[in-house]
Structure 1
């Protein structure tokens, strides 16, 4: 409660400051690494981007620091995922909206009819929307249009960059589809630390099973581990996967539970789920992350 009061006070202070384009550039603050990468692709050299979350950071559990509040309220626009992915930032976002701060939720680009339902989130939808490439294309166009409205002076640049990135995403979808099609549907069972990959599963016919459910805020219990170990034994699953933003101990416990049943299941590798890879690596981009994940999944399950 004390921290919340401090944040509210800081919000009130920062909201009184006048913000404007710095050196002719739109000042943008983003939340997740996926959103940061997308915004950079659209904005190019016409924007100044600050991402709150880095590689390996779990957005489900992320809490705003005092420094974050300063960044948010000195921005011209804030871009975030939405659907309560950044659950612990919701109070801050609501306060910003009350102060007429411009915010863009990527999820607003999507018709609720195409979202996956979830009882684990206040939005009632699974927020891991970036794992459907078609969703990401719609979100790219939506954010491009919003930037053009906010900064008409540089709209042609945003339109060109957005169109170029849409071509990149179309090429990615073709490459991923070809790679996934090399894996028989019967082997497309994806067992991970938490249910971040349901949109991916829907798009490419994977049966996705997460040990912790949709949110990492929930803890996997002994019954969850035993239930999933029985599933792996029954389906003869060859590999399970850890995630870069989730502690690996629960997946290792699952592996031991399978072994106790007289079966072996390997840990196929590390997937990027709620965050991209470290700066300077191919996995630090959405496209690189997606290619890495699919390569690991397909090669391990074959």
Structure 2
């Protein structure tokens, strides 16, 4: 189960959004205690970063706005920048203050060219509009997401067909890319892009993006505010979320990772990996946050 958390002044949290906080089915925060516990942890001085593939627009609407309704502004006080958002796997980021998201920064080195975005949008519109849509709020990457009115089995059947079509499009555009362990080189012999499928989406992104980059951006931000906690907890629902804990471990921090989709099987790591026996996704995330709040007395 979830290990005992250290004191608030010694603890930092890096949290994925889809899965641990927002339901992957409802695409929103459906468990009120998640919001209450996040507000209490921030008020207690715990630095919290949302490290997600979602856009700033999604996080602002589906997470920050509900947090404000649950008292976040009062919890932040003068410590507003102890809450931070890293979006699109490190492609964009912003502090969170009493008025919501601050100015969003975007890394132009990883942002996809408009011609690529338009070509993928045309592919989805012409062949896959019945099962998926393009998230037009993304600034640095392309996410093609399962429609909410489409059931999981139907989308699971359509996703590999879409990935094959996307790989074919990439070859025509001379976009060298990786899909899992497979690679298709561009004319210069490179693979600067990556296809990253999840249970509800397919992302086309710069190979530089990832949860490791997201964790680094969060730590760099918090380091500007003062000494970093020695102990961190990371929470996620996919294999790539382990990269947050990997980065912390490599930098010498104490870290434990909570995998909220334990049915996929834990990955072997040199640091502890936890899972609930009977909870998954946002139910596991809610239990984790409640335990953290209780154990630091927030």
- Return the TM-score normalized by structure 1: 0.33
- Return the TM-score normalized by structure 2: 0.33
Point out which structure has higher relative CO (alpha carbons under 8 A, 6+ apart). 2
Question: Between Structure 1 and Structure 2, which shows a larger proportion of strand residues?
Answer: 2
